[in-house]
Amino acid sequence: MAELTEPGEPPRPSRPAAPRGPAASAGPGDPGALTGLVADVLRTPVEEVTEETGPATTSAWTSLRHVQIVSRVEQVYGIRFTGREARGCRTVGALRAALAGKLGAP
């Protein structure tokens, strides 16, 4: 969202943009980076997010939040998931594996 501005002025972001590209974090192998991103979107404490966290384990992971999580991962890591890949990311672990595949990580 952007802050309201005077007519004719460009909108100002209400918060800083997320860093982009693979250098934006330690990478998909860093449990804290992806876990923190998911916790932020789900608005839940990072300590409660595990590899098994997904819509089957928490009511916070709604269909809207799923889209937001996938979108944020795409923005931060500079990648794009296909629709099938995005639908397959039903847990943090599955998301981490899909991201590693996109980035060519082992």
β-strand partners of 13 = 2
Structure confidence at residue 10 as a pLDDT band (50, 70, 90):
low
Structure confidence at residue 18 as a pLDDT band (50, 70, 90):
very low
- Output the average pLDDT for the chain: 81
List the CATH code of the domain at 26-103: 1.10.1200.10
Q: What is the pLDDT of residues 73-102, one digit of tens each?
A: 999 999 999 999 999 999 999 999 999 999
Nearest in space to 92 (alpha carbons), one of 49, 63, 43: 49
Contacts of 58 (CB under 8 A, 6+ apart): 42, 44, 48
Average pLDDT in the 18-38 region?
A: 62
pLDDT, residue 12, reads 54
Domain borders along the chain are 26-103
The Cα 101–Cα 46 span in angstroms is 24
Q: Which two tokens stand for residue 62?
A: 């709604």
pTM strictly above 0.75:
no
